[in-house]
Chain A
Amino acid sequence: MMPLHLKRVAYPVLIAVLAVAGAALITTPKTASVAFAEAAPADLFAPVAAVLRHPRCMNCHPRDDRPRQGDDRHEHLQNIVRGEDNMGFVNARCNSCHRDENNDFSRVPGAPNWHLAPLSMGWHGLGDSELCTALKDETKNGGKNVAALVQHMKSDALVLWGWKPGGTRAPVSTPHPQFMKELKAWADAGAPCPAAKP
């Protein structure tokens, strides 16, 4: 049995602890899925857009013929250009230097099928509405419906490189599992696009 003087101290402390715990349960932050469910449909694309705009993604989605490099998205050194097949010009083909994996010695990045996205998938500078519309446009995205887009971003080796770019390159900020939840929430809601800003 607990001595009376200790009970006098312990009970108030216990009550206070329970009160705090109860309050914490009531105010626990919403889980990601709850947040997705409650987000306005037009807002579901915002976290997807944030990932697509990361330099690891955007550097190969220019709206001109010059791939970009680095977090500041400067034009690729050595006058590297798109070429007819999005894989570079004569003597300066992407795979002349970028091989199937990162080169840990020279620090040249690499992943399978290293190439520029086609000009129709140029995203640089697009607002959320335009970016969303372009992403879904099957006449621009290589004939991918929304399910195929989700699969592409789930498993394409070149896309996944953005999360493991190696060297001193910053990976895409949103972890890939979280991105896939956000992407799927957007897709499951019918892939709504936000309204264009006037």
Chain B
Amino acid sequence: MTKPRVAFFDFASCEGCQIEFTNHGDAVILELLNHLDIVEFREAMTETTNEPIDIAFIEGSFTRESDRVRLQAIRSRAKTVIAYGACAVTGGINALKNHQDDFAEEVYGEAAYMPHLRSGTARPISAAIKVDHEVRGCPVSKEELLLVISNLLHGTTYAVPTFPVCAQCKRRETVCRYEEGDHCMGQVARAGCGAPCPADGIPCEACRGFVDDANLGALEKVLVERAGFSQRRAVAKSRMFTANLRS
């Protein structure tokens, strides 16, 4: 059996999700290379390709028309396209800018008017091309990534968890952030990460986006009544990873 040809591409992102793949280390990656042929991956190799590929992992969000052209070119030569990481799946942290227009000088100072900074709305790559699978998270979970890859290799589909992070916190007996006087969005955030943040004492920021039918009204109520947020902050909390998912 010939090995599937795999390539990684990136758009507006920090490329941390690609680094997360390399964090598996030699033992895992060298074993995976018995099953995959990695033909383009700029975090780990210099070669690139214009040939057809079997699996394209695309990191980063779609922020300008030139991205659309490049995304369409990747789509046309890739059998399977995987939106890889929060930026590609939902627009991720880049989408913060979609709700404001006064950030450029604040962030870039004198360089704010450089032409390459003139990007548009940060969108998921699915706004430009058809996506076959999604690997969520900021960064992606490298363990979950292995499951996605092995399912692809076996011709099956990885069943993405659709329940909220709370269930994963409870399974590992993490003391709830609310019991510590803190806030959290684990009730509405998609799980699959294994809930590492609350276990480290950090509220869930919903980096994987929301579950379907997320009860945002109840979230606001809990943030006000239990975490002591103002109504305004409760509504805005947290746009960090969910700016494209709320009004």
* A and B are interacting partners: no
Chain A contacts to B: CB under 8 angstroms: none
